[in-house]
Amino acid sequence: MERQCVFIATFVLILHLVQAQDPTGFINVDCGLPPRDSPYNAVPTGLAYTSDAHLVNSGKTGRIAKEFEPDYTKPILTLRYFPDGVRNCYNLKVIRDTNYLIKATFVYGNYDGLNVDPNFDLFLGPNLWTTMSTNDTIEELIHVTKSDSLQVCLVKTGISIPFINVLELRPLPKTAYVTQSGSLKYLFRRYLSSSDRTIRYPSDVYDRKWYPMFVENSWTQVMTTLNVNASNLYELPQDVMTTGVTPLNANATLNITWTLEPPTTKFYSYMHFAELETLRAKDTREFNMTLNGKQSFRPYSPKPLKTETIFDVTPEQCDGGACLLQLVKTLKSTLPPLLNAIEGFTVIDFPQMETNEDDVASIKNVQDTYGLSRISWQGDPCVPKQFLWDGLSCNNSDISTPPIITSLDLSASGLTGIITHAIQNLTHLQKLDLSNNNLTGEIPEFLADMKSLLIIDLSSNNLTGSVPPSLLQKKGMKLNVEGNPHILCTTGSCVNKGHKKKSIIVPVVASIASIAVLIGAFVLFLVLRKKKASKVEGPPPSYMQSSDGRSPRSSEPAIMTKNKRFTYSEVMTMTNNFQRILGKGGFGIVYHGFVNGTEQVAVKILSQSSSQGYKQFKAEVELLLRVHHKNLVGLVGYCDEGENLALIYEYMTNGDLKEHMSGTRNRFVLNWRTRLNIVVESAQGLEYLHSGCKPPMVHRDVKTTNILLNEHFQAKLADFGLSRSFPIEGETHVSTVVAGTPGYLDPEYYRTNWLTEKSDVYSFGIVLLEIITNIPVIDQSREKPHIAEWVGLMLTRGDIKSIMDPSLNGDYDSGSVWKAVELAMSCLNPSSARRPTMSQVVMALNECVASENSRGGASRDMDSKSSIEVSLTFGTEVSPTAR
């Protein structure tokens, strides 16, 4: 069917031509080039390349091995690699709302002598661009910038160290290569010629690389020595447009094929035409263009020696990912179809918005002012969540608006100087913690003008002067200036022990000797009593007390045992002052640390705002101190010191199951056998809580984020803050306030408030469905939003493939899957009495494992997800060598 949305680019824009001929907008970066060797003009383009030293704050420089040097030229000979940190970013100054051709070149060249195949992720700002898994490749993208800066980030995902050789940006006309949405990822760019020459700048004014297409035996080469008018929007090189091909058989079609992975990938194609032959009066060249048998454009005739570009303004898809483009001669045509050049791009969406521009500028100003060199402070401050800058909290709940910075924690960061005015531009800031530094000067009044700011901790600094009255009078403000001996507090709402001590010392010194002795004795008595009390109760809180003057946990009984107890200073030491964040939750932040300098641990710090935090903390400590099982996360120790509460666990290298199922942790798919092993081990941990503990325990929060995986992908249950026991012999349930996670919560428990071990069985059934389907537990866009209802609907249709995770590509024993589905649905029985026990669940799952293992086959522990690949039938490799 003829499409109405056809655009033929035949017009000439003088402005674009002038801009195209001026390469000053090019950005050419030789990564790893020493600054003293910068800039230089590369051969054969003549373009000036500069060092990357001023564009990135981390990494080390290297050079490909000498054995590979003869195959390459500058700028590919050098590279920068990033052994430290997870995300390392280049920060490039660009022009907002400009269409850029972005090229990144990666040539491993065994620079480190290890012969390790690369495997790491490449991000553009907060969004994944691609995964690097080859030794020699160029990644290319056409992207419209949204701000004045562009960040290209390399992210470590395994043992491979990220590296990059060249980074290049070329501005394009704004109306060229336009998409309905998203950006364009390079698929192929070919000119139809028997030549072996790669064409780029200066022949191509935008420095696109054109690779020759293999001319098949059924084609004939068409060429001209005349000049072709190429002055349309795309400005193709003369060397590209002066050649073309037609079918050898005048009545044959001209076929171009390629494949897409995954098959549902959307793409754009751009076909470039110019008539190169002098046609006789009776000759006509006219043809239709079809994609997989469907007509894409109306009959078309190339213009003599004039370039025209034909493309569709809407993206295309090919059934099954196999694309067949055919140029078909019309009935009135006397000549076969002709094609000069063709480009293909896949659509790549970058859905995550960058952090609010003003917040980014402000936090970088703060970073520069205090000279902060934290390895994590690279790239976008807030997103993606797994790369959130240390010390920041952000709000990105509304995907339609940019994320904003809501909390800044620079405590114990070695800050000196005054409180920088850059902070006042963080207009959404709710909490500011600058405690335990060496800040001087007065407390600035602008803090009172920050409307969102509610908590300010300036304790343990060297600030001077009076607290601004406007700050003291601000309603709802919590201010802590304790430990600043030179700060004057003018109201009772500001605590400053330093001045109180001074006001006492003066009259004491002036008193008569006998009274001084009495007072001294009395003070000594108080000090001794205070020390004794502190040994029992712990040190005073480092933050403000609650409004009633009591500690938030004053009514809670203390944890009786003192085994495995650490001081808060030891916690700070083991986490290197809380340098590396592993994750965040309702309890607080989890940090990476070391005990005794060698044993890796995960340190969970209780948030000051955590509701009922101490109850959960106490419950978890007491549970883990008395239960031990290979499938329960082990407690290395804890800290219970005043308001400073921490849990120190064994470190689980591979994070949680949810991350692996969703693909947020890496780009590997857990195969069916591995998934079964994980749920069996998780079930064994629950079985121990239900049957092996005296009294029995109910976890109350079984979900995929609470199933952690060690380096061998052994599963262990975690997060026992909501766990409850049955203290009375023979008790069948506990009446308790409902707690848990929506979607996983037992509906009977929710309805009756009666908690039994079968509530965990229900939650485990949801986990089982998650590993089978790999779909969200709740999705309002589905016909049945809850996963259990959706699976029930699919079961009525009797097709296991509609339920099973499609990324497994059918690599599983169907009998094993059916058993797992039946077991999951039995766990979800509305009546808890009819659900199996965890012992029965373990037995049934072991049967599933046995069934899968008996199948054999080539299943591996983890199968790599396919990235988009192209297999063109017309010759040389799509991923060109960098030579």
The residue annotated as part of the active site, out of 380, 409, 701, 805, is 701
Gap between the Cα atoms of 782 and 794, Å rounded: 12
Contact 432/456 with Cβ under 8 angstroms? yes
Residue 679, phi then psi, degrees to nearest 5: -70, -30
Contact 478/454 with Cβ under 8 angstroms? yes
Residue with tokens 């364009």: 184
Q: Dihedral sign for Cα 405, 408, 414, 417, please.
A: positive
Gap between the Cα atoms of 697 and 756, Å rounded: 9
Gap between the Cα atoms of 688 and 691, Å rounded: 5
Q: What's the token pair of residue 396? A: 């990105």
Distances from the Cα of 587 to the Cα of 230, 533, 590, 640, angstroms: 63, 28, 9, 15
Residue type, 624: L
Gap between the Cα atoms of 136 and 111, Å rounded: 12
Residue type, 164: I
Contact 439/463 with Cβ under 8 angstroms? yes
Q: What's the token pair of residue 471? A: 């700050």
> Collapsing DSSP states into helix, strand and coil, what is residue 311?
strand
Residue 604 labelled as part of a binding site: yes
For the chain, the residue count is: 883
Contact 391/367 with Cβ under 8 angstroms? no
**Residue 252 CA neighbour count, 13 Å, CB half:** 12
CB neighbourhood size of 423 (10 A): 22
Residue 828, phi then psi, degrees to nearest 5: -95, 15
Sequence-distant (≥ 6) Cβ neighbours of residue 799 within 8 angstroms: none
Contact 329/251 with Cβ under 8 angstroms? yes
Contact 592/586 with Cβ under 8 angstroms? no
Cα 65 to the chain's mean position, in Å?
A: 32
> To 5 degrees, how large is the angle CA 150–CA 399–CA 312?
70
Q: What's the token pair of residue 166? A: 């060249």
User: How would DSSP label each residue in 686-754?
Assistant: HHIIIIISSS-EE-S---GGGEEE-TT--EEE---TT-EE--STT---EE----S-TTTS-HHHHHH-E
Contact 704/733 with Cβ under 8 angstroms? no
Q: Dihedral sign for Cα 16, 20, 25, 27, please.
A: positive
Gap between the Cα atoms of 505 and 508, Å rounded: 5
Residue type, 865: K
Contact 802/817 with Cβ under 8 angstroms? no
Based on the number of CB atoms within 10 Å of its own CB, is 375 exposed (0-12), middle (13-18) or buried (19 or more)? Answer: middle
Closest to 352 (Cα-Cα) out of 393, 307, 403: 403
Helices 814-827 and 787-795: crossing angle in degrees, nearest 10, is: 130
Gap between the Cα atoms of 335 and 119, Å rounded: 49
Residue 162, phi then psi, degrees to nearest 5: -65, 150
User: How would DSSP label each residue in 392-444?
Assistant: EEEE---TTS--EEEEEE-TTS--EES--GGGGG-TT--EEE--SSEE-SBPP
Active site residue 701: yes
Residues at the binding site for ATP are: 604
Residues involved in catalysis: 701
